[in-house]
Amino acid sequence: MYAVIRAGGKQYRVAPGDVIRVEKLATGTDGHVEFQEVLAVSAGDGQIGKPQAEARVVGQLVEEGRGAKILVFHYKRKKQYKKLRGHRQSYTAVRITEIAFDGQSFKAPELPKKEPKVKKAAAAHEPETAIPAAKGHAKKKAAPKKSAAKKAAAKKKK
């Protein structure tokens, strides 16, 4: 099940559960976004068509941000003309939660809730028990590790 939608002058093929980056959108109510322009809908098994009835694609706002910087460099040789500009395109990441048309509704599976990590405050306040090496004493070097082939040969000898 998928649909083709238009957002921000571009077309996207989306399925329930997909996360897409579209041009910056005005945030909808409670982080939900509904795409009005549904160009095509596929119910599966190679059937695709323009929706005759009202079709709906609903998404949930995941994040807003700005893309990577693109440098635009204008240059004319022999004329001492150089101009450098940068650009970062704003985007909105949307997770498609539901595609509904013709009385059918296809929903994305719910994501598990992330539990906040618990910081171990007690471990941070304990003093270190290791004693630093005194000056002038050489540190003991660790023995080099044997390769797997040498270990197997040593076992066969025993």
- The domain in which residue 47 lies consists of 2-107
Cβ atoms of 13 and 41 within 8 Å: the answer is no
* Lowest mean pLDDT across 90-94, 117-121, 154-158: 154-158
Confidence of residue 68 (pLDDT cuts 50, 70, 90): very high
Strands 2-7 and 19-23: unpaired
Tens-digit pLDDT profile for residues 108-145: 888 877 788 888 765 555 555 555 555 555 666 666 66
Cβ atoms of 4 and 11 within 8 Å: the answer is yes
Whether 98 is in a domain gets the answer: yes
pLDDT of residue 108: 84
Whether 70 is in a domain gets the answer: yes
Whether 36 is in a domain gets the answer: yes
Please determine, for residue 94, whether its predicted confidence score (pLDDT) is greater than 90.
yes
Q: Domain count of the chain?
A: 1
Which are the contacts of 87, defined by CB distance < 8 A and separation ≥ 6?
69, 70, 72
- Which residue carries 């076992």 as its tokens? 155
Whether 128 is in a domain gets the answer: no
Which one of 24-28, 51-55, 82-86 scores highest in mean pLDDT? 82-86
